[in-house]
């Protein structure tokens, strides 16, 4: 008679909370998408710093 049952925790201590896209339900892996709960393909707002394409910056002459 073992009354002390060990609870099996399914949650890993180091596991991150899973977040899914509000629009399409895809699981999100990148921090910005998780923060907004929107995948990159469903997010209407442009993401600065996500894809770093430094365009429209002329090289400084004389360097
Ligand atoms: Zn989505």
Report whether pLDDT(14) > 70: no
The 10 Å CB-count burial string (b at 16+, else e) for 16-28 is: eeebebeeeeeeb
Please provide the average confidence, as pLDDT, over all residues in the chain. 77
More confident residue, 57 or 54: 57
Q: Which residues pair with 27 in a beta bridge?
A: 20
Cα 40 to ligand 1 centre (Å): 7
Per residue in 34-53, pLDDT (tens digit) is: 999 999 999 988 776 555 55
Cα 21 to ligand 1 centre (Å): 5
Residue 33 — pLDDT band, cuts 50, 70, 90?
A: very high
């Amino acid at each position: 008679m073992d009354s002390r049952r060990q609870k099996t925790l399914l949650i890993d201590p180091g596991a991150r909370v899973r977040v899914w896209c509000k629009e399409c339900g895809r699981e999100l892996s990148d921090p910005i998408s998780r923060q907004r709960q929107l995948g990159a393909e469903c997010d209407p707002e442009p993401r600065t710093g996500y894809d770093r394409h430094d365009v429209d910056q002329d090289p400084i002459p004389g360097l």
